[in-house]
Amino acid sequence: MRSEQMTKGVDRAPHRALLKAIGYTDNELKRPLIGVAQSANEVIPGHIHLDKICQAVKDGIRMAGGTPMEFSTIGICDGIAMGHTGMKYSLASRELIADSVESMAQAYPFDGLVLLPNCDKIVPGMIMAGARLDLPTIVISGGPMRTGVCNGQEIDLITVFEGMGKFRVGELTEAELTELENAACPGAGSCSGMFTANSMNCLTEALGIALPGNGTTLAIDAARIRLAKTSGEAIMHLVDKNITMRQILTKEAFHNALAVDMAFGGSTNTSLHLPAIAHEAGIELTLQDFNEVSGKTPHICNMSPGGPDHMEDLHQAGGVSAIMKTLSLSGLLNEDALSVTGKTIREVLAAPNVIVANPETIRPLNNPYHPTGGLAVLTGNLAPDGAVVKQSAVAPEMLEHQGPARVFNSEEEAFSAIVNQNINPGDVIVIRYEGPQGGPGMREMLSPTAALAGIGLDKEVALLTDGRFSGGTRGAAIGHISPEAAAGGLIGLVQEGDQIKIDIPNRSLDLLIDKTELAQRQAAWQKPEAKIKKGYLARYARQVSSAAKGAVMV
């Protein structure tokens, strides 16, 4: 066993002495040692209950003959970090999480790993570490939040963000906004729509690195505790069979994840995280792969923010397994891919309980909500390396749009213009110098998009950025524009009033500018001074790659 490097033989007597100081017995130290990486804390609603989930995981490990060893990572809630300096640290924290899990698993040579994340960057960060380490590994998340209800209507966090805009234009009173605030997030779990956290948790099932139900079983359900215990038992089987992370994370597994992502209309942030995970697994996954899979995969789930359904609706309809079963009927999945069950995807989907229980929540392929996938990658002179939009959340009238640019060099400037109603119907808002290098940290910008929706302009105004958007964003919000402004990308040369043409069906994004004028602007452009000059973000800005390559540190 790998753990014998620190537990076996006379030379390891000092090591055992230290482990016995913790309370481990000789018998426990002779068993497989399983690292349990968890991110429980008191600052994220999706993590507040992870201590209970973690205990269940450890119970499962012990029941199956192993010894669990728990350790922690950091976690940042994008919703709480939104709209201020804290958001600069969110994407960057993904690398810290990956590095911390790697460091612990190398310093303590565990025989296997259980990854227990929830929310935003914590999920991909831990999985990146798992791919890098290539140990027997399983993911069990904290699960999604229950849907909020206010005055008989289902609501979620996005309702509150959009409520800010409605308050600004007099459609909501402050008391009504407070009522939404008090009801939108009813308890523990990752926010209840198909936002980034739930997108990534669902994709762990599609990748084969988590047990069925991981993405959709509610955080507060006893079924989540049982799933955690079963995951603890399952890691022991993986250790016994020496089934490692990279044996599961194959190119075929990533294409399965892309198909499921397109089918349920996941967050645009999956176009950052899946390539970053693939990079750690030694696999190249490009934005072109996203477009190719999107082109042949119908969008069959109408999830918030684009539609009315929430995670508990998807779970009751059959969950991710039912989506995968639907896709498999038309050959859109590679069913020979392996999963942490020890079985192939074909064998997992053959279980009698894998059925679609609600054909409106999970539609058949011949009756989709949209004929192609939820995400689209656009290219053109404004984004030669690519830009990403959640096309399933774009109003039909905004799929093709041309309008004058309204240029802002930060999220704060744009948000101020929106809430003060200085944006006109037809405008194309450009927010730049918010990319991985320029931000630094590639902030999510839910506040501007939610404000546009709140004041009723989401069907008349487009928003472009080299930053990124929340998985909760809806509207013609096109992010990840690469190259970014700070790297000399054309988005840094756009001037107020320039005409910009968006054609989502034909996957194009162009600045309509004369070549001579463009050359003059390029000659005059100067790289701006770094916004942050010391500390982690300064190092991150120097080392991070383009969003088109997953914003990994190189």
Which pLDDT score is estimated for 470? 80
Which pLDDT score is estimated for 142? 97
What would the two tokens of residue 500 be?
């910009």
Which pLDDT score is estimated for 341? 97
Contact 507, 514 (CB under 8 A): no
| Reported pTM | 0.95
- 95-120 per-position pLDDT tens digit: 999 999 999 999 999 999 999 999 98
Query: Has residue 472 got a pLDDT over 80?
Result: no
Per the annotation, the verdict on 392 as an active-site residue is: no
Query: Has residue 469 got a pLDDT over 90?
Result: no
- 24-75 per-position pLDDT tens digit: 999 999 999 999 999 999 999 999 999 999 999 999 999 999 999 999 999 9
Cβ-Cβ contacts under 8 Å for 537 (sequence gap 6 or more): 88, 89, 92, 440, 441
Q: Confidence band (pLDDT; 50, 70, 90) for 301?
A: very high
Contact 77, 46 (CB under 8 A): yes
Query: Has residue 189 got a pLDDT over 90?
Result: yes
Q: Name the percent of the chain lying above pLDDT 90.
A: 92
Give the separation between CA 468 and CA 449, rounded to whole angstroms.
11
The whole-number average pLDDT for the span 252-268 is 97
Which pLDDT score is estimated for 537? 96
Give the separation between CA 261 and CA 3, rounded to whole angstroms.
37
Give the separation between CA 267 and CA 196, rounded to whole angstroms.
5
The whole-number average pLDDT for the span 362-366 is 97
Q: Which of 192, 294, 339, 470 is catalytic?
A: 470
Contact 271, 480 (CB under 8 A): yes
Which pLDDT score is estimated for 447? 85
The whole-number average pLDDT for the span 286-299 is 96
Q: Confidence band (pLDDT; 50, 70, 90) for 356?
A: very high
- 203-245 per-position pLDDT tens digit: 999 999 999 999 999 999 999 999 999 999 999 999 999 999 9
The whole-number average pLDDT for the span 90-98 is 97
| 352 CB neighbour count, 10 Å cutoff | 5
- 475-488 per-position pLDDT tens digit: 899 999 999 999 99
Which pLDDT score is estimated for 165? 86
Is the torsion defined by CA of 113, 135, 270, 71 positive or negative?
Answer: positive
- 490-530 per-position pLDDT tens digit: 999 999 999 999 999 999 999 999 999 999 999 999 999 99
Which pLDDT score is estimated for 451? 87
User: Pick the residue with more confidence: 472 or 19?
Assistant: 19
Mean pLDDT for the chain overall: 96
Burial of 26 (0-12, 13-18, 19+ CB in 10 A): exposed
Query: Has residue 471 got a pLDDT over 80?
Result: no
Q: Confidence band (pLDDT; 50, 70, 90) for 83?
A: confident
SS3 for 79?
helix
Q: Confidence band (pLDDT; 50, 70, 90) for 450?
A: confident
The whole-number average pLDDT for the span 295-301 is 97
The whole-number average pLDDT for the span 405-425 is 94
Cβ-Cβ contacts under 8 Å for 215 (sequence gap 6 or more): 141, 144, 198, 201, 202, 203, 204, 205, 311, 319, 320
